[in-house]
Structure 1
Amino acid sequence: MKSLIVYCSTHGTTAKAAHLLRKQVEGDVIAINLDKTKLHSDLELFDSVMIGGSIHAGSVQGKIKKFMKEHEDVLQRKNLGLFLCCMREGQEAHTQFENAFPHILREAAIAKGLFGGEFIFSKMNFFEKIIAKSVSGSMEEISHLDFESINEFAATFNRNNKYLPV
């Protein structure tokens, strides 16, 4: 099985999650950060695709949205996983997940995950710091990366990741 993890990581949290996931998903797994690398591979070369992003100013990264829109037809035919890093919890986090990923891809996904988030102030610009402080009430770096959710996602993905004939 050949799998692709496509993600965007503004401050490094989603990259951490993607690389933890890459180590746990069975088979040959490649991780590509769309913020740093243009995807040159044909998605047809992969049996499965996992897509991850994070919430900034209430929305997932534009490159993730564009990737999903451009490849929606192919993604529906793949073993698909979707994950999101965000600082919200409970229903707010689920709402952010629903807003980040199109309904048709959420329905097709064999694994979905909310991986928590981090506020890494040292990597933020001035405006990001103001927003993060208003959300957290503090200027201290915070990590709520949910390792258990990453492990559960990987286990679910491995269990449901089946060979799909072309």
Structure 2
Amino acid sequence: MKTAIIYASKHGTTQKVADEISNHLARHEVALFNIRKHSKIDLSLYDQVILGGSIHAGTIQQSLQRFINQNTTVLLQKKLALFLCCMYEKEAQKQFENAFPEILRNHASSCQCVGGEFIFENMNLLEKLMTKKIAGISQSVSRINHKKIKELSLAMD
């Protein structure tokens, strides 16, 4: 089965999750696309699609949102899974609902909030200051939920 994993990654965490999903789907033909670098993707070439993004300042990346808006009809014709990298567990479900349209969430075989990371080495000064102020975190931390990643992968295998 041909699988497209389409994600938006700024600091590398969402790409790390996409790579882990790809590894779980090793028996499939998998193509990875960072939507920030590949805005045109021919979805007709794929049997199933996995979409992923992360929350920055309360919203998902515009590049992924634009892709979803432009391709909703085609995405509804594919086997679909959705994942979101989010550090705020208490708000994860609400942020997931805000990130992905209800029609896609209802269609998806798997919808997972997979945790996230704050990687200070990859942040600019403003991002570091905001993370310290809002999250109260002053050093890099990883809270990726590998169990949720595995669940999503199994749903698409």
TM-score using structure 1 length: 0.90
Partner of 2:63: 63
Q: Which moved more, 1:105-114 or 1:29-38?
A: 29-38
Tell me the secondary structure at the aligned position of residue 29 of structure 1.
Answer: strand
Tell me, in whole angstroms, the C-alpha distance in 1 between the residues paired with 2:98 and 2:76: 18
Superposed CA offset, 1:73-127 (max 9, x none): 000010011000010114x100000000011111110111111010011111122
Partner of 1:129: 128
Partner of 2:14: 14
Tell me the secondary structure at the aligned position of residue 112 of structure 1.
Answer: strand
Once the two structures are superposed, the pairs formed by residues 8-157 of structure 1 within 5 Å of their partners are 8-25=8-25, 26-39=27-40, 41-90=41-90, 92-157=91-156
Tell me the secondary structure at the aligned position of residue 9 of structure 1.
Answer: coil
Tell me the secondary structure at the aligned position of residue 71 of structure 1.
Answer: helix
Tell me the secondary structure at the aligned position of residue 106 of structure 2.
Answer: helix
Residue type of the partner of 1:137? G
Tell me the secondary structure at the aligned position of residue 134 of structure 2.
Answer: helix
Structure 1 residue 45: Cα displacement: 1.1
Q: Which runs of 5+ in 2 are unaligned?
A: none
Structure 1 residue 134: Cα displacement: 2.0
Cα RMSD of the aligned pairs, angstroms, is 1.1
Percent identity between matched residues is: 43
Q: Which runs of 5+ in 1 are unaligned?
A: 159-166
Q: How many residues align?
A: 156
Tell me, in whole angstroms, the C-alpha distance in 1 between the residues paired with 2:16 and 2:107: 25
Tell me the secondary structure at the aligned position of residue 4 of structure 1.
Answer: strand
Structure 1 residue 38: Cα displacement: 3.4
